[in-house]
Structure 1
Amino acid sequence: MAEPKDQLPEPDRLEGAPHPRETRVLFGHAAAEAELLRAHQSGRMHHAWMLTGPKGVGKATLAWRMARFLLATPPDDGGMFAAPPPDSLDIPDSHPVARRLLQGAEPRHFLLRRGPNEKETALSQVISVDDVRKMKSFFALSATDGGHRTAIIDSLDEMGPAAANALLKLLEEPPANVTFFLIAHQPARLLPTIRSRCRELRLHPLGPQDLADALTQAGGDIAPEDRSALAELSGGSVGEAFRMTNLDGLKLYAALIRLFATLPRLDRPQALALSDMAGARGAAETFDLLVTLIDLVLARLARHGVTGVTPPEAAPGEAQLLHRLSPDPLAARGWADLAQSVAARARRGKAVNLDPAALLMDMLLKLDETAGSLALR
């Protein structure tokens, strides 16, 4: 049964975690915050900031922090009794702007994200051109107090071609006193003309301690001994770490490493147990995570074969496994070639409702076949 329009999930919120507008502390990105603050204080605030970096590292949280700051900070009139320039982006929770943004009721702010589909029964897969036109109409009206206005676009990666072109026109002739914050997970795929109209600010993956602090704030938790492993597997992404924590990702990864250790003589009982887990009723998220984790093992095998550098272990026995299965660039090529096909094949199969357990077993048999071929060379 379709969900009512007012009960649809927010497309820019990770299920079970606070929305970025509700996240009060941004961990690990002090340099990015300082750059935005310097631009503001120097009077050279660009009208469009593209926040880039891996998904889940805090780009949206920074965008909301900056929007809150700009809307709540009065312009410096240069007068003798003007307040000293702010030294951080922090705005008290009690500030009227902070309260209105939290409630989605700030009249000087526009949030552009995926909306309902045409039948309003589910979320659209893309940000439509009509969504962009609504934003353009919003900024065509004058602010009631003539003050600064802001917009967050989350995310550019979800824009259809027509929407991207409509946004480009808006960036080429930006409305006065408006600052855009555009979130992009894969900026290389965007229109070069959009990128050229923006000032890019790249956010980097979080280290183990910042990741642990951010995950705790989001309602997750990491045991101290698991911080390094989770930082490795999540790529320093809070969003990915949150998903892995909720789905026992570290345990699943350890199970995969034990299974990989049996290659090229695949332990069938272990393989069947994992496949059955992925195919159980209500286990769609577990299937997706297992496919992601297999992709990750293959990437780490390929990287080790090329560089000879052993990464920090994310599961017991992983270092030995990498040395044995991918000792040189030739082995790395074999694992890299496999990585390009097996995960995509599994996801395509799932999209047409093939049995998840059979899809995962097929992946594991391909792994065994590749390991056997590499062992014979």
Structure 2
Amino acid sequence: MPHVPQIKIPATYMRGGTSKGVFFRLQDLPEAARVPGAARDALLLRVIGSPDPYGKQIDGMGGATSSTSKTVIISKSSKPDHDVDYLFGQVSIDKAFVDWSGNCGNLSAAVGPFAISAGLVDASRVPQNGVAIVRIWQANIGKTIIAHVPITKGAVQETGDFELDGVTFPAAEVQLEFMDPAAEEEGAGGAMFPTGNLVDDLDVPGVGTLKATMINAGIPTIFVNAEAIGYTGTELQDAINGDADALKKFETIRAYGALRMGLIKDLNEIATRQHTPKVAFVAKPADYVASSGKRVAAADVDLLVRAMSMGKLHHAMMGTAAVAIGTAAAIPGTLVNLATGGGERNAVRFGHPSGTLRVGAEAALANGEWTVTKAIMSRSARVLMEGWVRVPGGAF
């Protein structure tokens, strides 16, 4: 029988923050995949190696974790005063599903470097030496991200001495500004606190009534207190990811939180919304040993946070969730803020399974509503491989 040959598509495999993914220029995709729809989803699933009932993504570029099952499409921006449009696709590992409902804050750090190297940023905006300011339109959530990309001899500088917990080797620092980060989620009316409250009583059948801060900032996130669900906030991945009952509990919290936030109209819809919202639990500072063996002292952090991503405890912290943490920490009375000891603050350092991370946010109360003009954090990014990714020609 005849066999369809493979096709090759220009692509770049990049690390951004504590994630990595396959980056494409929109213009390089096959014509059928240049627009949203079934063909694009099928192509990206095949590139990453999903759906995989074995959960390994052996026959694709994915790494079988939420942090490594990611795709990015970049194009010259259609928006005024922006350089590029950035579209993120979170690829399910075991299901034939690409979730377009949110951003990836970690891979946001790689968008500016990729865009410059791929010729998508006007050369006049790139200095010979210094820092290039790349204005990014985040198409999933309709927000602006400003990336500060170091440039040396006219090219993106990738090596450096900036260290990021959760990433093995140092690299060049890329500072990100997430402008007006309150996510405009359908059904949530664009409100930072869709329930209208800083803290709610969230009824979760089989779990109980939990105090919860539900916020749209960076990415929709449900924060609960660690002690209320039987944890200390010092947990590492193995403490939760090997516990089927714990994973079911977190997914139930996520489903009822999403319903309360107006992100879904029916509990059954949560199955088609794996990427958002996130669930995180917070605790006051405590000593613990990070996954690398590094000791984190209570005095090193303002609070502890652990977050779930795609049904598993994240090995570090999602960048978008870090924005939510920084935003919530800046607003007195949220569970995140209370875990820090309360009061006003414009930056927070929190402990996560791989170490610590600092994020800043500028919050203000106007007409009885909280607004955040921007959240700021530093990540790093690096090209791991570039060339072509190959997929069977009949895959999409």
TM-score interval for Structure 1 and Structure 2 normalised by the shorter chain:
under 0.3
Structure that is richer in helix per residue: 1
Q: Say which structure is richer in strand.
A: 2
The higher radius of gyration belongs to 1
> What's the TM-score, normalizing by structure 2?
0.24
The TM-score normalised by the length of structure 1 is 0.25
**Higher RCO (CA 8 Å, separation ≥ 6 residues):** 2
